[in-house]
A and B are shown apart, each in its own frame.
Chain A
Amino acid sequence: MVDATAPLLDVKGLNVSFRTPSGVVQAVRDVSFSLGRERLGIVGESGSGKSTTGRAILRLIPPPGVVSAERIALSGLELQSLSEREMRTIRGDRISMVMQDPKYSLNPVMRVGEQIAEAYRLHSRAGRREARDKALEMLSAVRIRDPQRVYRAFPHELSGGMGQRVMIAMMLIPSPDLLIADEPTSALDVTVRMQILAIIDDMVRERGMGLVFISHDLNLVASFCDRVLIMYAGRVVEECRASELAAARHPYTRGLFSCLPRIEAGKKTLPTLERDPAWLA
């Protein structure tokens, strides 16, 4: 079933639409990309469909959302053909997702260490003791200085940066092949953001994990990812190497870049983005 030559993730012709009282909204239109063991950035403004794309891969689009795709394959395994139960196993074991705000993703009345250990036990059938050791090991892997203390903490006792580290530890403990990170650092201070990114960076390098990094921050994606998709109104308008993002061709990408204020630039009026209806064609 697993094809060694197939890319880690292969998405072809992905469409997502939502029925609303005022008509059908097409959130994602004909998106295709493939991913190896690399860091792929998906950049776009709010409403561009970038988060919806990430969720659609995990089949996390609730009704009235409708997903259709020619192919959503994980190492050659077609995810659309799986039952909901098989998909649950995939979601825990092989693909993990980190969201923007850890507060909503952690159980507020359970110690965080126990949540991590439980995540491990669910997927490995390990004993309590082993799961506990593994959770502590994971907490130190995400550079938490005092893992024993954090293990016993409740989610509300953690700062934003700490909570996001815990979340990442929990998502990485089953050693997934693919991590989908949806704005994982947008709510964090710049220095904490750097530290979290360094952890994710290590996981990609050391474990050969694939990463889909969804973000609105062009600079961050350009400096962190290997390859970038730029989304606009549900479409991928440009795909390029992250290092070449500054030399992007599509007027939307260029427009996004030029309207960013920069420390080194002067105080001139910022160029604004003129949206061309032709981009939707």
Chain B
Amino acid sequence: MSASHTPEPGSLRAWLLSDSPASAWQARAVRLYIGWLAFRRNPLAVAGLLIVTGLVLVAALAPVLASYSPIDQDLQARLQPPSATHWLGTDELGRDIYSRVIWGSRITLYIIALVAVIVVPVGLVMGTVAGYYGGLVDKVLMRITDVFMAFPRLILALAFVAVLEPSVENAVLAITLTSWPPYARIARAETITVRHSEFILAVRLQGASSWRILRSHVMPMCISSVVVRLTLDMAGVILIAAGLGFLGLGAQPPTPEWGLMISAGRQYILDQWWVPTMPGIAIFVVSLGFNLLGDGLRDVLDPKNG
């Protein structure tokens, strides 16, 4: 936070604060750096970023960090309290809870990444196409969006997974089915505000095709709102995924999925509290991290703040 006002010439900081960048790459770096300077002024957002980065690191380094296999059972050592050998204790089948929570981060990350990869493009395309063309196209696409929005999220997901077989992938599919409409709405709203702006007219006057205008001129304007929304939604996605796991409709045993772990451990909550509590804390911390990060990103990225 000790911001010296004039960076030394030749330093990395000067390069990052340059007002006449020498390459497209530097221009982008400068923009990111200035965004970062604004972002780091918000300590809660930085905490959120640390948690999310932590999640990614833990998932990447799971084999190194975990001290036991997440699925090997040791029935002699079942329901052990936290100790030096089992840091977070063991569950009803004698599996090391710490290792299971660590490996579980991979599944959580897998679920949210899969949701993001499906939801964002679908929402962006639906929303920008509807907003840009307007008229009948808009009406049809938005009614479709409304139909999907009208389903209660968890119930649709339950029905969907019940029809197909319960698995992580089907849980993701069920979540995305009900998650994309808000993105389409955001993208449509942003598109409508820029559709008649002069910079869009200017590319039309260069003879650009509609798809080109949508892809390289309209969509970049929607990205920041979508990213903010996505980050804030991630907490909800994690909770639904955990909920499906809890109900036995998501990940299947012996997968170390956090919701499933809580579900299996719930009968021990009074005597061996750590069994359901540890994965619960993991869910809580990661959801909180995404919420904090999303709030911070909104402050930096929201175009209404300049």
Contacts and interface: CB of A to CB of B under 8 A. Distances in A.
A268 to B, nearest CB: 31
Nearest to A23: B5
B3 interface: yes
Contacts of B5: 22-23
Interface in A22-45: 22-23
Interface in A5-27: 21-23
B20 to A, nearest CB: 15
B6 A21 contact: no
A21 B41 CA distance: 12
Interface in B1-29: 3, 5-6
Contacts of B37: 21
Interface in B33-88: 37
Which of B3, B5, B6, B37 has its CB near the most chain A CB atoms (within 10 A)? B5
B209 to A, nearest CB: 36
Contacts, number: 5
A145 to B, nearest CB: 33
Contacts of A22: 5
Nearest to B7: A22
Contacts of A21: 3, 37
The binding surface of chain B is classed by DSSP as: loop
A22 B17 CA distance: 10
A22 B37 CA distance: 12
Nearest to B41: A21
Nearest to B5: A23
B6 A23 contact: yes
Nearest to A22: B5
A72 B5 CA distance: 32
A21 B3 CA distance: 8
A230 B179 CA distance: 59
A281 to B, nearest CB: 22
A21 B17 CA distance: 11
Interface in A184-216: none
A23 B5 CA distance: 6
A23 B17 CA distance: 13
A23 B3 CA distance: 10
5 contacts: A21-B3, A21-B37, A22-B5, A23-B5, A23-B6
